[in-house]
Amino acid sequence: GNSVTQMEGPVTLSEEAFLTINCTYTATGYPSLFWYVQYPGEGLQLLLKATKADDKGSNKGFEATYRKETTSFHLEKGSVQVSDSAVYFCALSKETGGFKTIFGAGTRLFVKA
Amino acid sequence: DTGVSQDPRHKITKRGQNVTFRCDPISEHNRLYWYRQTLGQGPEFLTYFQNEAQLEKSRLLSDRFSAERPKGSFSTLEIQRTEQGDSAMYLCASSPITVGRPNTGELFFGEGSRLTVL
């Protein structure tokens, strides 16, 4: 079946450090891929998405590229801020599955000033 | 505020009691999803609606769980005879799915309803 695996946390970084959170997926066909973020005390919200191979999603300085050959969608940011502290979820969704989104377990990021 | 709203935000109940959660989606969204999230895990799919029709239920949704979306607008999730294992955050999300047009399945989440069963 379809699944998402992402690196375990927590990840602790100093402000302005480079961030990578690894995500790989298993799915037949061509799913859409997403990163959702959950800030403390808030609901999940979409951070970025990519709908086909080699697409790059980007938002708020975060980027992720849909790599079908490696079935990956790693999240990167060149310089993190304290305000980026949150839980990040990699996810996939397919139209043939009714767009039921499948989530990874989440990676908690702490950014220190 | 035109986002997804959920009520109540937090419910504490005793084992064996019934609880009901309500979700009001973004008004023009025809898809509505329920998820459950436990500590340290990602959301797990429970069920979803296209307008008022419930199209799929997860095996996670035992017969103590029932969900409705009677007029294709708000939805309710009821848990009967609650058990301690039902303690979790229940998330509602909506999505605009348009037949005949490209859809990505992006979800818009509410803030969740946290259930604690004592």
Q: What pLDDT is attached to residue B31? A: 92
Q: How far is CA B105 from CA A94, A108, B96, in A?
A: 7, 24, 8
pLDDT in tens, B11-29: 999 999 999 999 999 998 9
Cβ–Cβ below 8 Å for A46 and B106:
yes
Q: B46 to chain A nearest CA, in Å? A: 9
Cα–Cα distance for residue pair A58/A50, rounded to 1 Å: 9
Residues on B contacting A at a C-beta cutoff of 8 Å: 4, 31, 33, 40-45, 48, 55-56, 91, 93, 95, 97, 102-112
Q: For residues B31-51, give the mean pLDDT.
A: 94
Q: For residues B83-102, give the mean pLDDT.
A: 88
Chain A CB contacts of B44 under 8 Å are 103
Cα–Cα distance for residue pair B24/B71, rounded to 1 Å: 12
Nearest neighbour of A89 by CB, restricted to B31, B42, B110: B42
Q: What pLDDT is attached to residue A99? A: 80
Cα–Cα distance for residue pair B108/B28, rounded to 1 Å: 12
Name the band, by pLDDT with cuts 50, 70 and 90, for residue B82: very high
